[in-house]
Amino acid sequence: MEIDESPQDRPVSPFTLRSIYVRNSSIRTDDHFDPLVPGQQLKAIFRTGEGRVDCREVTFVENDQEGIFRSCAFTTRFEFAYVRRTEGDEPVSDEDIEKAIAAQITVDITVDYLISLQTFPDGDALSQWAHGPVIFHAWPYWREYCHATMLRMNLPVTMIPLLQVPTTEEVAREKSAAQN
């Protein structure tokens, strides 16, 4: 016998992963960069930008029953760039990096969760979730997207590193350093 449950009757934890998808993306190659020239001195730069969260409540009707579901969609920007290395000085400021970019891949990845709480979590809880599980869930999608896009752009392939989860001691040191 099959039980027909509506979405509000299904048991869910406070944050239940609903979907992961690309919200926006862009690629660019500098007009003066030829990816087919071998031996070019390039430096890989990875950046993760600040994200945003959009929490919403949707009313739906299913089998003549009205229900409500709540969800929060966290969108994070991931960037990869190859910058030209020059003799001596390496670009360090954002302005220097921007001038030295040979190729760039940018993608906004959204990780969407159902929320089982009666009210939405507060800003601190959402921020903690955005900097922890959201990155953890989005990272494999970012790695695959960047790798496949590098191949399509005919760029040398640099593997995006595996996500490093800090130890409890590292987190404590960072908190202590931030407080001082």
Span 57-80, pLDDT tens digits: 888 888 888 888 889 999 999 999
Q: What percentage of the chain has pLDDT greater than the value 90?
A: 44
pLDDT of residue 98: 86
What is the spatial distance between Cα 40 and Cα 110, in angstroms, rounded to a whole number? 34
pLDDT exceeds cutoff 80 at 118: no
Span 25-52, pLDDT tens digits: 999 999 999 999 988 989 999 888 878 9
pLDDT exceeds cutoff 70 at 165: no
Angle between helices 123-131 and 133-152 (to 10 degrees): 40
